[in-house]
Amino acid sequence: MFNKVLIANRGEIAVRIIRACRELGMQTVAVYSEADRHALHVRYSDEAYLLGPAPSRESYLRADKIIEIAKRSHSGAIHPGYGFLAERADFAQACLDEGLGFIGPKPSSIAAMGDKAVARSTVAGSGVPVVPGTEGEGSLSDDDLLKVAPEIGFPLLIKATAGGGGKGMREVRSLEEMPALLNSARREAEASFGDGNVYLEKLLEGARHIEIQILADTQGNVIHLGERECSLQRRHQKLLEESPSPFVGDDQELRERMGSVAVRAAQAVDYINAGTIEFLVDKDKNFYFLEMNTRLQVEHPITEAVTNVDIVKEQIRIARGRQMRHTQEEIRLTGWAIECRVNAEDPYNNFLPSTGRIDHLILPTGPGVRVDTGVYPGFEISPYYDSLISKLIVRGETRGEAILRMRRALEEYKIVGVRTNIPFHQHLMDSHRFMAGQYDTRFVEERFSMEAPEDESETLPEIAAILATLVAHNEAQRAAQIIQRGERDVSNWKWVGRWERIHR
Ligand code: MV4
């Protein structure tokens, strides 16, 4: 039984895990790169060890060094967080081989779900619905794929078996264009994963992306914690998540069905610890298994907010061989939670990553607000890691209250020194489609613009357009976002005025 945990991660998630450990009375060991010497996770941990230079390859991906530090510091277990080594079966196995606990599933479960074709056929064998497509495991040649494609029917999707996150994915609308698309999909998959193997699925258009959080302990208990709506994303990067899903809403029967199918999918690979089953859900509420994420997810706090379950503490208890503290009957979703991912990127410039020092920072607080962050004033945002700087999570009794609370929290949030996507989230909170919960995975890319109100404004009087823009974006927030030291000498107000005249 361990009581010292090494956190093999950085940023907000490392801080989140350290907090859970401390509340459970456990010692914490941080690891960090040269870019993260002054990071919050280093300050919050009991001990911290340098891994190496800033690039992930030379620091947070150095499995050998991390295991060596775990042993040297007498840590009993490693929590991988998300990203980096979290879904590497070989790393989980190496931990176990060295007598270290891995706070996550068994290596065999990670491997089975890591190969998307194996995952499909494994869960399908347990009666989990999958999108019609190629069946079985093992590699398929172009000839094989071109032969079965017409049986599956067009449009279809080429997907990488080593994939996930949309890499190596291609839409195919006819047999004629398929050979070239197979080629480019294989090349991209080979470049990204070192594995050019692909499989086919019928393309589901206009579907929603809804995922189910599950927890499984070593005593054989598997429960689900309801769903998260994750359709608001751009180029496979999620931007906002909510729980419950407005699409599932009060259809408790659908929730229960998706939940029990998710539990079955987890059981199909002998799953232990926290995991997430992703589904595509069509207009008629048919749902299909997409993939399973065998890790703690970025958006776990919204599930915590509506279930009152501390998922990270449960992960640690489960890894210590303890029974889960909750039964399925005890889990009830109450209220509504929304998470906005605050990224250091410029929503007015194609979401270009923004780096630099955080000169000023005021975090929103107050009723129903949670901020998980790894940064503080004076911290330098480097280009080496993902651009997530914080997660703003709000909870309300109803979806309406949660949206109003999110607006209020976004107004309070001030970051000066780097650009952030806060104006994007503010714009989104004013979108009628978002308010109505009417969005699918194409919404941000196809129907949402930062430049103009979503419903064409030509017919509206000019004065209304100006007022709507001013109210929607909140002048003060806009001014704070725009400041870049030494770049111009006019006041923010003048600059905003010009900007708005240019962008009308
Ligand atoms: C799909 C799909 C439509 N039909 N599969 C994208 C990433 C990977 N996790 C699976 N993805 C999709 N698979 C079929 N058969 C549409 C997507 C998809 C998507 C899925 C979830 C969230 C956002 C998405 C954005 C574009 C496409």
Which two structure tokens, joined as six digits, stand for 447? 């129907």
Distance 282 CA to ligand 1 centre (A): 12
Does ligand 1 have an atom closer than 6 angstroms to the CB of 372?
Answer: no
Does ligand 1 come within 6 angstroms of the Cβ of 280? yes
Determine the distance separating the centroid of ligand 1 and the alpha carbon of 166, expressed in angstroms: 7
Angle value at C-alpha 280, between 277 and 285, nearest 5 degrees? 115
Three-state secondary-structure class, residue 150: helix
298 with 391: CB under 8 angstroms?
A: yes
The response to whether residue 117 sits with its C-beta less than 6 Å from ligand 1 reads no
Q: What atom of ligand 1 comes closest to residue 131's alpha carbon? A: 15
Over the stretch 45-94, which tens digit does the pLDDT of each residue have? 999 999 999 999 999 999 999 999 999 999 999 999 999 999 999 999 99
Distances (CA, A) of 126 to 220, 302, 318: 17, 29, 24
Residue type, 298: V
Q: How far apart are CA 335 and CA 337, in angstroms?
A: 7
Choose one of 198, 210, 288, 441 to mutate for the ligand 1 pocket test, by most ligand atoms within 8 angstroms of C-beta.
441
What is the predicted pLDDT for the residue at 454? 54
Distance of alpha carbon 306 from alpha carbon 297, whole angstroms:
16
The reply to whether ligand 1 has any atom less than 6 angstroms from the CB of 157 is yes
Residue 421's alpha-carbon distances to 23, 83, 137, 392, 428, in angstroms, are: 32, 21, 41, 12, 11
Contacts of 398 (CB under 8 A, 6+ apart): 335, 336
**Pocket residue to mutate for ligand 1, from 290, 291, 298, 440, most atoms within 8 A of Cβ:** 290
Separation of 256 CA from ligand 1 center, angstroms?
23
Instruction: Say how far apart CA 368 and CA 169 lie, in whole Å.
Output: 39
The amino acid that residue 351 corresponds to is: F
Does pTM surpass 0.75? Answer: yes
60 in Cβ contact with 51 (< 8 Å): yes
Neighbours of 184 (CB within 10 A): 12
Cα separation, 30 vs 6, in Å, equals 6
pLDDT score for 165: 78
Atom index in ligand 1 nearest the CA of residue 291 equals 9
Work out the widest C-alpha separation in the chain, in whole angstroms.
Answer: 70
Minimal-distance CA residue to ligand 1 atom 6: 166
Within 376-474, where are the H helices? Answer: 399-412, 422-429, 432-436, 462-473
Ligand 1 in reach of 236 Cβ (< 6 A): yes
Q: How far does the centroid of ligand 1 lie from the alpha carbon of residue 165, in Å? A: 8
Q: Distance of CA 193 to CAs 7, 13, 112, 504, Å?
A: 25, 24, 16, 44
For residue 277 and ligand 1, the question of a CB distance below 6 A is answered with no
Residue 455: what pLDDT?
Answer: 55
- In angstroms, rounded to a whole number, what is the distance separating the alpha carbons of residues 251 and 243? 13
3-state secondary structure 160-171: ECCCCCCCCCEE
Quick one: which atom of ligand 1 is closest to the CA of 156? 15
Residue whose CA lies nearest to ligand 1 atom number 21: 209
Give the active site residues: 295
Separation of 232 CA from ligand 1 center, angstroms? 12
d(CA 504, CA 501): 5
User: Is the Cβ atom of 266 under 6 angstroms away from ligand 1?
Assistant: no
**Whole-number pLDDT of residue 136:** 84
160 CA to centre of ligand 1 in angstroms: 12
Neighbours of 139 (CB within 10 A): 12
**Tell me, what's the pLDDT at 287?**
98
Q: Residue 416 Cα, ligand 1 centroid: separation in angstroms?
A: 35
Residue 222 in 3-state DSSP? strand
Minimal-distance CA residue to ligand 1 atom 11: 166
Residue 255: both structure tokens together: 């929730």
262 alpha carbon to ligand 1 midpoint, in Å?
A: 18
- Report the C-alpha gap between 112 and 289 in whole angstroms: 14
**Radius of gyration of the CA atoms of the chain, in A:** 23
For ligand 1, atom 14, name the residue with the nearest CA.
203
204 CA: nearest ligand 1 atom: 4
Count Cα neighbours of 441 within 13 Å in the Cβ-side half-sphere.
Answer: 19
Structure tokens of 471?
Answer: 């109210």
| 203 pocket-lining for ligand 1 (C-beta < 6 Å) | yes
Q: What is the pLDDT of residue 240?
A: 98
| CB distance 244 to 333 below 8 Å | yes
Distances in whole angstroms, Cα of residue 313 to Cα of each of 172, 254, 310 = 44, 28, 5
List C-alpha distances in Å: 215 to 3, 219, 271, 334: 21, 12, 9, 19
Q: Does the beta carbon of 201 lie inside 6 Å of ligand 1? A: yes
- Tell me the two tokens of residue 51: 């891994």
Q: Which atom of ligand 1 is nearest to the CA of 201?
A: 15
75 within 8 A of 97, measured Cβ to Cβ: no
CA of 279 to the centre of ligand 1 (A): 9
CA 210 to chain centre: 12
Please give the Cα distance from 482 to 146 (Å, whole number): 52
Cα angle 181, 184, 186; round to 5: 105
- Name every residue whose Cβ is closer than 8 Å to that of residue 79 and which is 6 or more positions away in sequence: 5, 6, 7, 8, 9, 17, 103, 104, 315, 316
Cα–Cα distance measured from residue 159 to residue 182, given in angstroms and rounded to the nearest whole number: 9
Spans of the chain, pLDDT less than 70 = 452-460, 462-463, 465-467, 470, 473-500, 502-504
- Does the beta carbon of 473 lie inside 6 Å of ligand 1? no
Within 13 A of 289's CA, how many CA atoms are on the CB side? Answer: 32
Q: CA-CA distance, 64 to 232, in Å (whole number)?
A: 37
pLDDT of residue 203: 97
Best residue among 205, 209, 440 to mutate for probing ligand 1, ranked by most atoms within 8 Å of CB: 209
Q: Residue whose CA is closest, atom 17 of ligand 1?
A: 166
Pick the residue whose CA is nearest to atom 20 on ligand 1: 209
DSSP characters over 75-103: -SEEE--SSTTTT-HHHHHHHHHTT-EES
